[in-house]
Amino acid sequence: MAAASFTAAKFLAPAVAARSGSDRAPSFPAVSAIRPLRRTRPAQRLLAVSSDVLAGNKPAPAAAAQPAVTREEALELYEDMVLGRNFEDMCAQMYYRGKMFGFVHLYNGQEAVSTGFIKLLNQPDCIVSTYRDHVHALSKGVPARSVMAELFGKATGCCRGQGGSMHMFSEPHNVLGGFAFIGEGIPVATGAAFAAKYRHEVLKQSSPDGLDVTIAFFGDGTANNGQFFECLNMAQLWKLPIIFVVENNLWAIGMSHLRATSDPEIWKKGPAFGMPGVHVDGMDVLKVREVAKEAIDRARRGEGPTLVEAETYRFRGHSLADPDELRRPDEKSHYAARDPITQLKKYIIEQNLASEAELKNIEKKIDDVVEEAVEFADASPLPPRSQLLENVFSDPKGFGIGPDGKYRCEDPKFTQGTAQV
């Protein structure tokens, strides 16, 4: 689907526009490499997305005479995606070596979505993420060493070691947090978008480019939660500068999206509230970038929100504690063959935007960045115990700090549970 068409087509995506006079449920064309993922009723089905699904199952067109991106843009996209992939692979190694604790959810396979959207944002723009948040933070510019140190629980992490894997936050980069409970970040993102509109219209503090934009990332499982619908309504009612990005990787932990959703086409929930709804191939960074550009431009102009369903796939289990035994081998191999990084690399070389040697230099650079991040995190100190009760109580002389001005947790009796408080 060409991004430029979604404004013109308004609320109907091209693949479904023909349905306007029919009661039949949509059926995407079959993908030869994998059997359809069937729903309970065979008449209604959603198939694994392919690069030709959104074009009506036509053969892929020949390479365009003019590349869709410049050399500089292509290399920026490639470097960011490789950083995300290599960083997550290193996280897996460090987790199994006992350097990280708790649940760690990796982003492998979904890099095209993060890179395609976030690399188009400005510094004042905000993002809100989920528990699968490391790569979103990296794409927004949070240094790899700060993210890795946070994963190690160290004081040099972007949250001083108190956030961990699922709660990345960076005020300087306007990363407003990863959220462990599904859906809870969407109201935060909606509030950030409201603040941007208030600054623009009331305080007259807007930037020359227009409104600051907020992107809310969440998964397919979240799209059945009440907060999602409430925020769609509020965002459209007030024409807030927000993009709701559903990273539909087809599985909510171990629950197939097709088994849990009455209508699996999430993008259609946008038009129900009067906003554009767009479905895009989330395994193709250039297609994601096209759609993202138009959605961001709409928001900056004050034209309101957009709902984007990016159909993608995670290459690992739900978390590093998940043996990943529920998904079919042929399904996993189909998406592995559509690796978004491999596709972009092929495009760059075919379009003569860079040589393979130049791309290998980028990969080597990223390897060094990730190795340095691990060394930095490993050598960093743990947070002091005095940090334990910071930012918990509003009264600085309340429960956390005693009359003498010292933290109560420094009292040995406090940690033993015998202190008088």
Reported as a single tens digit per residue, the pLDDT across 82-99 is: 999 999 999 999 999 999
* Model pLDDT for residues 234-276, shown as the tens digit of each residue: 999 999 999 999 999 999 999 999 999 999 999 999 999 999 9
**Residue 43, pLDDT score:** 35
Structure tokens at 399: 């429960």
**CA–CA separation, 108 and 95 (whole Å):** 15
pLDDT at 221 over 80: yes
244 in Cβ contact with 306 (< 8 Å): yes
* CA 300 – CA 243 distance, rounded (Å): 11
Whether the per-residue pLDDT at 358 is higher than 80: the answer is: yes
Mapping DSSP to helix (H, G, I), strand (E, B) and coil, where does residue 128 land? strand
CA 214 to chain centre: 12
List residues bridging with 138 in a β-sheet: none
- The mean pLDDT of the chain is 85
pTM of the model: 0.82
Distance CA 91, CA 97 (A): 10
Which has the minimum average pLDDT: 33-37, 256-260, 330-334? 33-37
pLDDT given at position 56: 42
Asked if the model's pLDDT at residue 16 lies above 80, the reply is no
Distance CA 26, CA 263 (A): 10
Instruction: Categorize the per-residue pLDDT at 181 as very low, low, confident or very high, splitting at 50, 70 and 90.
Output: very high
Q: What is the distance between the alpha carbons of residues 119 and 253, in angstroms, rounded to a whole number?
A: 28
Tokens 């406090």 identify what position? 414
- Our CA angle for 308, 314, 316, nearest 5°, is 160
- The CA distance from 36 to 154, in Å, is 46
Confidence of residue 41 (pLDDT cuts 50, 70, 90): very low
Q: What percent of the chain has pLDDT over 70?
A: 80
pLDDT at 32: 32
Burial of 348 (0-12, 13-18, 19+ CB in 10 A): buried
Whether 21 shows a pLDDT value over 70: the answer reads: no
Residue 251: strand, helix, or coil: strand
Residue 161 has pLDDT above 70, yes or no: yes
pLDDT for 158: 97
Give the pLDDT mean for 344-362.
97
Residue 393 confidence (pLDDT): 64
Q: What is the pLDDT of residue 29?
A: 33
Range among 31-35, 40-44, 227-231, 257-261 rated most confident: 227-231
Instruction: Please give the pLDDT value at position 384.
Output: 87
Amino acid 34 reads I
Residue 162 DSSP class: S
How far apart CA 154 and CA 383 sit, in angstroms, is 6
Task: Please report, to the nearest 10 degrees, the dihedral formed by the alpha carbons of residues 296, 302, 303, 309 taken in order.
Answer: 30
Cα–Cα distance, 210 to 96 (Å, whole number): 46
Mean pLDDT on 156-185: 95
Work out whether strand 306-311 and strand 242-248 pair parallel, antiparallel, or are unpaired.
Answer: parallel
Phi, psi of 368, deg, nearest 5: -65, -40
Average pLDDT of the residues in 345-363 = 97
pLDDT for position 78: 98
Query: How far, in Å, CA of 89 to CA of 83, rounded?
Result: 10
Winning range, highest mean pLDDT, from 11-15, 385-389, 397-401, 405-409: 385-389
What DSSP line would sit under 212-224, residue for residue? --EEEEEEGGGGG
